[in-house]
Structure 1
Amino acid sequence: MQVVLHTGAHMTDEGKLVANLIKNSEVLAQWGTHAPNPASYRNLIRKLLRDAAETSVGEDARDVVMNAVSPEQEPERLILSGPGFFGTPRMSAGGGRFYPSAEARLGYFHQMFPHDQLEFFFAIRNPASFLPAVFDAANFTAMAEFLRGTEPAEFCWSNLIHRLRDAYPNLPITIWCNEDTPLIWAEIMREMAGLDATVALDGEFALLGDIMTRPGMQRFEAYIASHSGMTEIQKRRVIAAFLDKFADDSAIEEELDVPGWTEQLVAHLTELYDEDLFAIQRIPGINLITP
């Protein structure tokens, strides 16, 4: 069985990805893929991970998970989604590293599913907005305390991906930028579900309504309806064109209010993020989904 682990990051799609996959359960089932409701397994897996850290992964861990998510029939491909798989928001950054427990947590999943093929799916986000978002969720009183004394510029996603690649050389890893998600939403869903690129899914443009004006979205939907058969590349060009004209600036712009952070620091972190993407592209065996 193929086991897809969608582990976040925190504060990216906010559960919308797995929710859209669940809406397409009938289509996924035709391809042997099952995306169970996260409510059926997140707390269970959290407990299994906690027990594994204290003792070890139980021999019956796989059976326990499968009975919870797919008691009747084992699928060919199982999607498990949870930003907490690598820890809480308090554990998302520290010592200059994103998700310091990621390697160990992923090791526990390998022990849970020792004879299955694991795949790793993960959205990254500009540290200039990611760090303030997880800081707010972590309930620290000061950013310096949250970052354990390290500077924001020390954090880069390529470090996390290098660590996982070094620890698990044969693990299929798929990465994308949260900022690009509205443009590549359909491709992310298909790749996660193991579907052919030609398979139609409900909710392919679900995120556009969050960042496009209502009149623009209505025109976009009418255009798509009247131009069936477009390739994925053509769809992205249409999306980009409509966003260029009808983007809701108030929804796209993020207000960052971190004591001590200047506009210059935010710009610097954004520049480092752009450079980090090139570093990620050079890591062997990484599937980076881009517009």
Structure 2
Amino acid sequence: MQMVYHIGVHGTDGDRMLKTLLNNRGRLLRDRTEVVTPNRHRGVFEEALAALNGGPATPEMEQIMQDAVLDSDDPLRVICTSPGFLGVPSRAIGPEGLYPQAGARIAALTNLFPSAGAEFFVAIRNPVTLIADVLDLHGGDYASLMGGVDPLSLSWLTAVQRMAAGAQGRRLVVWCHEDAPIIWPDVVRLVGGLPPSEPLPGGLLYMHEMLGDQGLRELRGALAGRELPVSQRRDLYAEHLQRNALPHMVEQDIALPGWTQETVDQITARYYQDIPQIAALPGVEFILA
């Protein structure tokens, strides 16, 4: 059995992964792939993680968890999705930077089912918008969230290095949240273990949100009757986003204590400078737009 964990990060998914996978549930089940909804695994996994404290589950404990969360018999691939796998939003930032516990959390997840394989999927995002969104989830207390950490010091490179160390050679797939609308069908197929050419009902969910009804109709019209290579399809998506994206979906006001436009620009520049280095990390499979 292969356990597949889509682990966030916070503010990157909005249940889109779960919705798209459930749109393809019948197809996945034919391949003996089960999608476990958060309401089934949330309490079970949290209690087990707390009890194990990072250690491996016994075969008996594995069986109890399987009986609790699985509907199908003997699945080959089990997909679970939740940003809660990385902890609560208030721990997204610590003295060591972004998601300081990510490596330990991933290592602990592998120990939930030590007899199974494990894969991890995670979207990273510009720390500027991450902090703004996590602050809302945290209750609006900026000083408490940051804990004195200089926002200019935040780097995804060190965070993903911790994730790769926690995965210990297991598959770790990373992409940029900003690219998600363009690469979404490819991300979902990887999570689901589906072939690249597999039809994907719901694969335009993200583009629908970005373009609205009229924009999606135009995109569907441009796609009708065409089987495009991945690169051309992504170019077409990008073209339609540039022309028809809803303003409120691509613009976000940032008003954080002590921040200036220069702060935003410097953090954003570092983020994009880190991406090529993250993509080149050993053990990281990076999805480039």
Asked if 2 retains the 8 angstrom alpha-carbon contact of 1:22 and 1:36, the reply is no
Alpha-carbon distance in structure 1 between the residues aligned to 2:251 and 2:170: 35
Report how many residues are paired. Answer: 288
Asked if 2 retains the 8 angstrom alpha-carbon contact of 1:51 and 1:57, the reply is no
Task: Please give the TM-score of this superposition, normalised by the length of structure 2.
Answer: 0.94
Distance 1:58 1:77, change over 3 A: closer
**CA RMSD, Structure 1 to Structure 2 (Å):** 1.7
After TM superposition, list the pairs within 5 Å mapping 1:76-225 onto structure 2: 76-139=76-139, 141=141, 143-224=142-223
Distance 1:50 1:26, change over 3 A: same
Q: Does 2:9 correspond to 1:12?
A: no
Distance 1:72 1:253, change over 3 A: closer
Task: Please give the TM-score of this superposition, normalised by the length of structure 1.
Answer: 0.93
Unaligned 5+ segments in structure 1 are: none
What does residue 32 of structure 1 align with?
Answer: 32
Asked if 1 retains the 8 angstrom alpha-carbon contact of 2:55 and 2:111, the reply is no
Deviation at 1:167, TM superposition (A): 3.9
113-122 or 56-65, which deviates more: 56-65
Alpha-carbon distance in structure 2 between the residues aligned to 1:102 and 1:167: 8
- Residue identity matched to 1:223: A
What does residue 288 of structure 2 align with?
Answer: 290
- Residue 5 of structure 2 aligns to a residue whose secondary structure is strand
Asked if 2 retains the 8 angstrom alpha-carbon contact of 1:144 and 1:150, the reply is no
Distance 1:25 1:214, change over 3 A: closer
What does residue 279 of structure 1 align with?
Answer: 277
- Residue identity matched to 1:102: A
Summarize deviations over 1:57-101 as a string: whole Å, max 9, x none. Answer: 552332232112224402111111111112100111111422222
Alpha-carbon distance in structure 2 between the residues aligned to 1:213 and 1:167: 39
Deviation at 1:56, TM superposition (A): 5.4
- Residue 201 of structure 1 aligns to a residue whose secondary structure is coil
Alpha-carbon distance in structure 1 between the residues aligned to 2:150 and 2:271: 14
- Residue 84 of structure 1 aligns to a residue whose secondary structure is helix
- Residue 170 of structure 1 aligns to a residue whose secondary structure is coil
Asked if 1 retains the 8 angstrom alpha-carbon contact of 2:208 and 2:216, the reply is yes
Alpha-carbon distance in structure 1 between the residues aligned to 2:160 and 2:183: 21
105-114 or 278-287, which deviates more: 105-114
- Residue 205 of structure 2 aligns to a residue whose secondary structure is coil
Alpha-carbon distance in structure 2 between the residues aligned to 1:251 and 1:172: 31
Alpha-carbon distance in structure 2 between the residues aligned to 1:114 and 1:34: 19
Identical pairs, percent? 27
Asked if 1 retains the 8 angstrom alpha-carbon contact of 2:122 and 2:174, the reply is yes
Unaligned 5+ segments in structure 2 are: none
